[in-house]
Amino acid sequence: MSPAEWESVCDGCGKCCLISLQDEDTDEILLTDVHCKLFDGATALCSDYPNRKRHVPDCVILKPETVAELTWMPQTCAYRLLHEGKPLPEWHHLRSGSVQSIHEAGWSVQGATVSELTVGGEEALLKRITVWPGEPGWEG
């Protein structure tokens, strides 16, 4: 897969740009509705994708050789689905032909998050745990 093809796999859901917490007892990953400071909540895209590592040193760059190790990735992540041999959903742009399909179908975090710059402390983060479509606990 070429670099451009690899990039095209991303569905633009934005869930990997959310702050997540890990349950101490179960190790379960709990997503919040709080996004990375570099994320643009209105578009559900990184505001400086080419330079994201410079702004956010612990941003994880997805690579074909490491995707198997990233067990915290959202259940609906297209890279995860491909790695697990599962089909891409019909709202994925490689199937629908439009990058807006995921937003129109309600499977992204577009317009539904707040910046980490506005949320202070772990207590506040705990109150923002959110069950997103397709993630554990979701009853869609």
Q: What is the binding site for ligand SF4 (CB under 6 A)?
A: 10-16, 62, 73-74, 77-79
Minimum Å gap between C-beta 5 and ligand SF4 is: 14
Minimum Å gap between C-beta 14 and ligand SF4 is: 5
**Measured from the CB atom, is 15 or 103 closer to ligand SF4?**
15
Tokens of 92: 């994925």
Minimum Å gap between C-beta 139 and ligand SF4 is: 21
**Measured from the CB atom, is 75 or 119 closer to ligand SF4?**
75
Task: Please state, in angstroms and rounded to a whole number, the distance separating the CA atoms of residues 46 and 11.
Answer: 13
